[in-house]
C-alpha cells in the first residue's frame, strides 16, 4: 500500500491493567503491554495497535518497532513490507485510519451506525457455577453462540459443565477452544465426548505444527475443527489448508500477519469451502475498533469472535458498544 501523501510515524508504549485478572489457558493476566502507532499527515492522524499474546509471539522490541516505522516512512508506504505480525497489523491500521482522519477506515452500514456485528459470548474461565451464570446472562441478552475454553480444569468437570449448558440452552451454538491442550493420542476420544456433550465445534484441539495428526483428526472428528494457533507460523496458507483440510479457521490479524494477510487467509479458505471468522486477542479499544471496522467491510453480517472491550482500567472509551448481542458503532462523525 503506497500512501498518497507525506506522513510520519511515531509510537508509544503503554501498559494496560485488567479490571480483573484475565484467566487464559496460559495463566491469569493482570496487565497488557501494547504499542500505539500514530500515522500523522497534514490532514490529521490515524492510530493502530501493536500487541502480542504472551506465549504465542514475542513482544516486539522497541528497536524493531523504530526500525520498521523508519523503513515504512522511507518507502512512503507498506509496499513490499512484511514486518512481524503485530507490527504489520499496527502499521496497516494506523495508515488506513490516516487516509480518513476522524472517520472509520471504511464506509459501511456498520460504520454509519446502521447495522451491528453479531458476536459470540465469551465465557471467561472460572468455577462452574460462575460460568453457568455467565452463559445464562448471555442467552438472556440474545446471544446464540457461547464460547468456552477447555483444557484448564479436569476434563470430567468440563464435560459436566457442557452437558448442563447444552441441556439448559439446547438452541445455543456452543464452541470450545482447547488452545492445543489435548495430545494426539487422547484427542479422538475427547472429541467424541465433547460432541456427545452438545459442543458444536472446537478450536485447535492439539498443539500446532503436527500437521499429519491434525489432518487425521479433521478427517475423522465428529466435531468441526477450526485452526487457530496453527496459522501463526504457517509458511504457506495454501499448503496448510490443502494438507490439513480443516472445517474452519480462526483469523487473528494481530497474530496472523495483519489485515492484508487476514484477507488472503479468508480468500484461500473460501476457495476451499472452509469457514472462517475473526477473533480478537485482548487488544485495547484502538485495535478492537480496527478489527470491527475490517470485519464489517470484509464479511458484513457474519458472526465474529470479537471482544466487547472495556477490559482495562486505563483504556479509553470505545467508539463501539455492545447492544444486545451485536457490536454497534456509536461514535459521532
| Catalytic option among 19, 190, 252, 326 | 252
Task: Locate the DSSP E strands across the chain.
Answer: 8-24, 27-41, 44-51, 117-118, 121-123, 145-149, 173-177, 201-203, 225-227, 248-251, 275-278, 320-323, 326-329
| Catalytic option among 19, 149, 190, 326 | 149
Give the position of cell 459501511. 108
Q: What are phi and psi of 310, to 5 degrees?
A: 60, 40
190 is catalytic: no
CB 269 within 8 A of CB 275: yes
Closest CA to 51 of 36, 66, 69: 36
Give the position of cell 509510537. 11
Closest CA to 190 of 179, 202, 172, 175: 202
252 is catalytic: yes
How far apart CA 131 and CA 149 sit, in angstroms, is: 11
Distance of CA 78 to the CA centre of its chain: 23
| Residues annotated as catalytic (active site), given as ranges | 149, 252
Amino acid at each position: 500500500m503506497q500512501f498518497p501523501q507525506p506522513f510520519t510515524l511515531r509510537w508509544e508504549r503503554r501498559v494496560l491493567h485488567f479490571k480483573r485478572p484475565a484467566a487464559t489457558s496460559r495463566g491469569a493476566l493482570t496487565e497488557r503491554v501494547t504499542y500505539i502507532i500514530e500515522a500523522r499527515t497534514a490532514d490529521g492522524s490515524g492510530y493502530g495497535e501493536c500487541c502480542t499474546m504472551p506465549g504465542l509471539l514475542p513482544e516486539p522490541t522497541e528497536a524493531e518497532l523504530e526500525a520498521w516505522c523508519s523503513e515504512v516512512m522511507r518507502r512512503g508506504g507498506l509496499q513490499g513490507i512484511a514486518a512481524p505480525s503485530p507490527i504489520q497489523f499496527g502499521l496497516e491500521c494506523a495508515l488506513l485510519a490516516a487516509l480518513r482522519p476522524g472517520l472509520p477506515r471504511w464506509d459501511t452500514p456498520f460504520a454509519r451506525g446502521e447495522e451491528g456485528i453479531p458476536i459470540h459470548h465469551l465465557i471467561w474461565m472460572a468455577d462452574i457455577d460462575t460460568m453457568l451464570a455467565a452463559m445464562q446472562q448471555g442467552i438472556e441478552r440474545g446471544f446464540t453462540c457461547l464460547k468456552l475454553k477447555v483444557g484448564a480444569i479436569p476434563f470430567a468437570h468440563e464435560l459436566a459443565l457442557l452437558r448442563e449448558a447444552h441441556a439448559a440452552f439446547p438452541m445455543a451454538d456452543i464452541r470450545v477452544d482447547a488452545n492445543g491442550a489435548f495430545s494426539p493420542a487422547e484427542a479422538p476420544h475427547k472429541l467424541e465426548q465433547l460432541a456427545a456433550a452438545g459442543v458444536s465445534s472446537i478450536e485447535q484441539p492439539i498443539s500446532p505444527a503436527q500437521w499429519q495428526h491434525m489432518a487425521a483428526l479433521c478427517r475423522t472428528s465428529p466435531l468441526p475443527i477450526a485452526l487457530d494457533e496453527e496459522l501463526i507460523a504457517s509458511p504457506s496458507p495454501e499448503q496448510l489448508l490443502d494438507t490439513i483440510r480443516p472445517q474452519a479457521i480462526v483469523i487473528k490479524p494481530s497474530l496472523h500477519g495483519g489485515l492484508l494477510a487476514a484477507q488472503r487467509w479468508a480468500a484461500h479458505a473460501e476457495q476451499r469451502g472452509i469457514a472462517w471468522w475473526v477473533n480478537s486477542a485482548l487488544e485495547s479499544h484502538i485495535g478492537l475498533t480496527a478489527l470491527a471496522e475490517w470485519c464489517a467491510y470484509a464479511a458484513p453480517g457474519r458472526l465474529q469472535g470479537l471482544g466487547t472491550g472495556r477490559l482495562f482500567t486505563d483504556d479509553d472509551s470505545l467508539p463501539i458498544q455492545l447492544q444486545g448481542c451485536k457490536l454497534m458503532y456509536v461514535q459521532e462523525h
